[in-house]
Amino acid sequence: MNYEQFFAEKIADLKSEGRYRVFADIQRQAGKFPTAFVHKDGKVKEITVWCSNDYMGMGQNPDAIAKMQEIAGGYGVGAGGTRNISGTMHEHVLLEAELADLHQTESALLFQSGWVANLTTLSTLGSLVPDCVIISDSKNHNSMIEGIRHSRAEKHIFRHNDLEDLENILKSIDPDRPKMIAFESVYSMDGDIAPIKEICDLADKYGAMTFLDEVHAVGLYGPRGAGVAERDGVMDRITIIQGTLAKAFGVIGGYIAGTKALCDFVRSYGTGFIFSSSMPPAVAAAARTNVNHLKNHNELRIRHQERAATLKQRFRDAGIPVMDSVSHIVPIFVGNAVLCKQASDDLMERHNIYVQPINYPTVERGTERLRFTPTPHHTDAHMDQLIEAIKEVWSRLGLQAAA
């Protein structure tokens, strides 16, 4: 086989479909978010970032920066091992306690990323709980799908956020078999939110565990930022809450929270936990600083929701086709991969606005979109500039206005 030719052809396929991914080469500037520099063709210019998952700008929290510097100076930069073999730093222990407190659970367990937390936890439970059946929302994130796949457990997919379909599936499974319902709270490409309480009711009725990915909600919802389950008063009904430290908490890493026995089980049997070196202590310390900060600053969440609501309203007023969203995520419909990329390129090149195109396989073909994530740092002036830029690009590319 001509390997090189094979690779080149597969890449050419992506390019012809308009969904070849080009990474913007960004240089963030602490203290100036959402302003950043972009490097392109040897040139540098200043842009406004509109698509970061650093939803609160916590990546530049001065306390977290100082903490990271302090702990790197004190411990050195790496942890030096897996958690079992010399790699459990006191900062990991403190961060796990902070996360268990956040979710009001007995325990929490850290991973290198949210992706690894999902993969490891779902694959470990699905493979080791005897005869387990996993019932998974059709819009679940790739990391959950991979975890379920690796578990080789029997899997059923229910229609997105559809309680009737979920109940029909639960009903069809032998009542004595162990079951787990795997779903998310905020779905990050559409901005809709799962009916968590009703899913918990079904879980109780049919004796199922619940696995809830709150990656796009931790730090952002609930009076202490523990997520939508906290906001809805059902946090104590979830078997496993999974989150990330890389989005609203602004650093890197993932975790699960649950009972002592459950976390100990995944700690003891999960290969993605056991065989991978632990995160640098300075990283854990910075993450803990931000988790604690957002626990105590509900006014940031209020401002965040206000910014998102304002942007949605302003898009509507301007006839820009904003999609339905009940969360902080603000997607605009394009519906064509090539045009979506073109709109994104034009916004960057002509207007110094950065929003990444969202194409298949992240969303279904024909539903390509631009996904905006306003933060507490996006001002009215940023929005003025954005609206004018979108109007210009939409009319020049002949894109559809709002219906």
Ligand X SMILES: *Cc1c(COP(=O)(O)O)cnc(C)c1O
Active site residues: 247
Does the protein bind ligand X through residue 246 (CB under 6 A)? yes
Does the protein bind ligand X through residue 336 (CB under 6 A)? no
Residues 278-307 that bind ligand X (CB under 6 A): none
Which residue has the CB atom at the shortest distance from ligand X? 114
Contact 282, 75 (CB under 8 A): yes
42, burial (CB in 10 Å: exposed 0-12, middle 13-18, buried 19+):
exposed
Give dist(CA 34, CA 153) in Å, integer.
43
Does the protein bind ligand X through residue 254 (CB under 6 A)? yes
Site string for ligand X, 93-122 (x = CB under 6 A): --------------------xxx--x----
The distance of closest approach from Cβ of residue 273 to ligand X in the complex, given in angstroms and rounded to an integer, is 14
**Packing angle between helix 114-128 and helix 260-269, nearest 10 degrees?**
90
Q: Of 26 and 387, which CB lies nearer to ligand X in the complex structure?
A: 26
Q: Which two tokens stand for residue 229?
A: 């389950």
Q: Of 215 and 332, which CB lies nearer to ligand X in the complex structure?
A: 215
Strand partners, 244: 254
Does the protein bind ligand X through residue 244 (CB under 6 A)? yes
Closest by alpha carbon to 48, among 56, 37, 57, 39?
37
Strand partners, 82: 277
Q: Of 105 and 188, which CB lies nearer to ligand X in the complex structure?
A: 188
Member of 120, 136, 143, 359 binding ligand X (CB under 6 A): 143
Q: Of 248 and 343, which CB lies nearer to ligand X in the complex structure?
A: 248
Does the protein bind ligand X through residue 346 (CB under 6 A)? no
Give dist(CA 260, CA 182) in Å, integer.
20
The distance of closest approach from Cβ of residue 243 to ligand X in the complex, given in angstroms and rounded to an integer, is 8
Q: Of 48 and 244, which CB lies nearer to ligand X in the complex structure?
A: 244
Direct distance between the N- and C-terminal alpha carbons of the chain, in angstroms, rounded to an integer: 51
* Helix or strand (DSSP H, E) at 37: strand 35-40
Contact 127, 155 (CB under 8 A): no
| Piece of the chain touching ligand X by CB under 6 A; list 14-22, 174-182, 210-218, 317-325 | 210-218
**Could you tell me whether strands 154-158 and 133-137 are parallel, antiparallel, or unpaired per DSSP bridges?**
parallel
Applying CB under 6 A, which residues contact ligand X? 113-115, 118, 141, 143, 184, 188, 213, 215-216, 244, 246, 254
